[in-house]
Copies of this chain bind each other. A is one copy, B any other.
Amino acid sequence: MKACGLVVEYNPFHNGHVLHAKESREKTGADIVVAVMSGPFLQRGEPAIASKWKRAEMALNGGIDLVIELPYAFATQKAEIFAKGSISLLESLGCDSFCFGSEDGRIEPFITAHRILTDNSAAFDAAIKSYMDAGNSYPSSAAKAYRLINNGDAALDLTKPNNILGKEYVSAALSNGFSIRPYTIQRVAAGYHETKLSKDPIASATGIRKAIHEHQELDPVSSYIPQTTMNALDQYLSNYHAFHDWEMYWTMLKYRILSSSLIELAEIYEIEEGIEHRMKEVAKQSSSFTGFMAALKTKRYTWTRLQRMCVHVLTHTLKEQVIHNDQPTYIRLLGMNGRGQEYLRTVKKGLPLPLIAKLSSYQKQDINMDLRAAQVYALGLSEPYQADLMKREYEAPIIIK
């Protein structure tokens, strides 16, 4: 059986994701499609709108055969580490290929970009540093630096978010000598950051989330998500009475910031350059997460980077805990259908990493960071929903026939 891997967040799973799965399957000729999906906290430094279990269920109902979790130590990270963790897990699971959506749509420019940037890595890093010193953000500096290195020709437009991610996926595969083969398909319609909904059945997850949070109901987004996602979200809302957003965690974040010393805050992963001072001052004056972020934001830091810092403060993730996480050390199953189960049976014996189906049978400490993230995520709900969600954490993966 040939498997194609997808790197996803499904926040929530929408029509664009159905298309991505379908086209990836066709393009790579795979028998099954495996998604490596972020858990409770996402790359942009936000809590997922619904639990990873509910999002895995949506995926299985939308054409994915097997869903595994991208551990926290890789999910809430800049593109390079996020990509390394994801592609490494897909390789470990024996996938023949992976396929990502990009603004570009052709795989060659990604491979070329990887080669050029590897051959000129010192010059590239120096250029990035000088753009950043001039006050540019990291993504913008990296795009400018690539154009500079590539003699003014940006064969791959590295200002586009999906191109940036894609370049990192390709680099992760090539620089680690993985056998997994990269493919890309062109993203249609909605841009990654597009927040307005249109008449097209494809909308960005950002736009969909925004509409859900604004209206506090699902009707306005019904044309952009499969009926199965609609049902799943509907069920989540009636079970737990809330979708997750940052405001749900604001009191906890404020509490953590204000009750920790500056020295303790400085020990948190990604907290640097003295931003802990600013965090404390700003938190004191803020009465919502939105207000806090608006006051915290400076040109020096992207919104995403600041939000990721906030996630690490919230989950109390320390520098010393992340620094050793080079590649994932386990494969955690979230859900599968019959084909997914069949695939697992064929690869199970040769897996280089332990496969975690049930938490209670896994005794190693390396999963503690994920458990803590799941616990903090659950604390955003009121009781008894908190307890219910944590109970789910210890059960077997979701199986959909």
A→B interface (CB under 8 Å): 251-252, 254-256, 258-260, 284, 287-288, 314-316, 372, 375-376, 379, 383-384, 386-387, 390
Contacts and interface: CB of A to CB of B under 8 A. Distances in A.
Contact of A383 (B255, B287, B386): B287
Q: How many copies does the complex hold?
A: 2
Contacts of A258: 372, 375-376, 379
Nearest to A384: B287
A324 to B, nearest CB: 15
Contact of A379 (B251, B288, B372, B383): B251
A316 B262 CA distance: 13
B316 A259 contact: yes
The main secondary structure of chain A at its interface with chain B is helix
A261 to B, nearest CB: 8
Contacts of A386: 287
20 contacts: A251-B379, A252-B255, A255-B255, A255-B256, A255-B376, A255-B379, A256-B256, A256-B259, A258-B372, A258-B375, A258-B376, A258-B379, A259-B314, A259-B315, A259-B316, A284-B375, A284-B390, A287-B383, A287-B384, A287-B387
7 closest cross-chain pairs (CB), A and B: A287-B383, A259-B316, A258-B375, A252-B255, A255-B379, A287-B387, A259-B376
Most B C-beta atoms less than 10 A away, residue of A251, A287, A387: A251
Contacts of A383: 287-288
Nearest to A288: B383
Given A255-B376, A284-B390, 11 more contacts: A251-B252, A251-B379, A255-B255, A256-B259, A258-B372, A259-B315, A259-B316, A259-B372, A259-B375, A284-B375, A287-B386
